[in-house]
Structure 1
Amino acid sequence: MNPMIKAIKAAQRAAGIDQVCHVKNVKQISGGLTNSCTGLTKNQQKALLRRYQYMAPKYEMPKQLKLIYSLWGQLASAGKVEKDSKQACDAFCEKYCNGLRLYKAESHWSAIIEILKQWLHRGGPDHA
């Protein structure tokens, strides 16, 4: 996938823009000529990316959440999880958050940190 398209899609997710709104944005940027960001010119793609970046929330990730992602990365480096990504970490943590998305389950963060620390200190690979 084109790096600019990847950046647009990442910014779209970060801004919480659903596919219907995304298509409307693409149509607006292109003057109605296309409904896909691959059909946009380079300048139009840049304009769409800037729009989405502007729409994304501007906040610092809480320290506990940073620690959770850091511990997950350490588990990956130690060979205890297969995939070092926020999505993989989120999917694992949802089991301990009663199905809530990790960033919405602040009351569970301390317990998850302890679970990940204990897992990290156990010996040998143990893939999730």
Structure 2
Amino acid sequence: MNPMIKAIKTAQRAAGIDQVCHVKNVKQISGGLTNSCTGLTQNQQRALLKRYQQMVPKQELPKQLKLIYSLWGQLARAGKVKQDSKQACDAFCEKFCDGKRLYNAEGHWQAVTEILKQWLNRKETNHA
């Protein structure tokens, strides 16, 4: 399957667009010339993909995850971690989540939050 068609179909499913509405969208984009995305020009396919991507509902991060990422950012600003990114935070937190991705380890979020809070509040001692 053409990668663009595959992307359109994936976006269609993600946006919850049924086949009847999909055909209507294709007809509208093509000016009534076709009812299949394979009959669209590349520009029309891109326009359809963009339309579907804009219709996909945005998922809000759970409050506990927002707090974890916020604490990580505070650690970075305090110079206690090198990289202020979600990826760096996720990589660090996997150690405390039995190897699970942070997003999929809801049962560990409270413990991770406490670890990050303690780290943030820890005073660095100079052993020189």
Q: Shared fold by TM > 0.5?
A: yes
Cα deviation, 1:14-68, whole Å, max 9, x if unaligned, reads xxxxxx9667227x978687xxxxxx65x7656434423433x533321111100
- 5 Å-filtered alignment, 1:1-128, equals 24-25=6-7, 45=46, 47-55=48-56, 57-124=57-124
Conserved? CA contact 1:29–1:48, under 8 Å: no
Cα RMSD after superposing both structures:
3.1
The unaligned stretches of length 5 or more in structure 2 are 9-35
Conserved? CA contact 2:5–2:38, under 8 Å: no
Taking a change above 3 Å as real, the CA distance of residues 63 and 30 of structure 1, as seen in their structure-2 partners, is same
Aligned mates of 1:69, 1:45 — CA distance in 2 = 34
Aligned mates of 1:22, 1:80 — CA distance in 2 = 43
Q: How many residues align?
A: 97
Q: Which residue of structure 2 aligns with residue 6 of structure 1?
A: none
The unaligned stretches of length 5 or more in structure 1 are 1-19, 34-39
| TM-score, normalising length: structure 2 | 0.59
Amino acid at match of 1:64: Q
Amino acid at match of 2:58: K
Taking a change above 3 Å as real, the CA distance of residues 90 and 30 of structure 1, as seen in their structure-2 partners, is farther
Could you say which structure has the greater relative contact order, defined with CA pairs below 8 angstroms and 6 or more residues apart?
1
Cα deviation, 1:71-96, whole Å, max 9, x if unaligned, reads 00101111111111111111111111
Greater Rg by CA: 2
Return the offset for 1:100: 1.0
Taking a change above 3 Å as real, the CA distance of residues 32 and 65 of structure 1, as seen in their structure-2 partners, is same
Percent same amino acid at aligned positions? 60
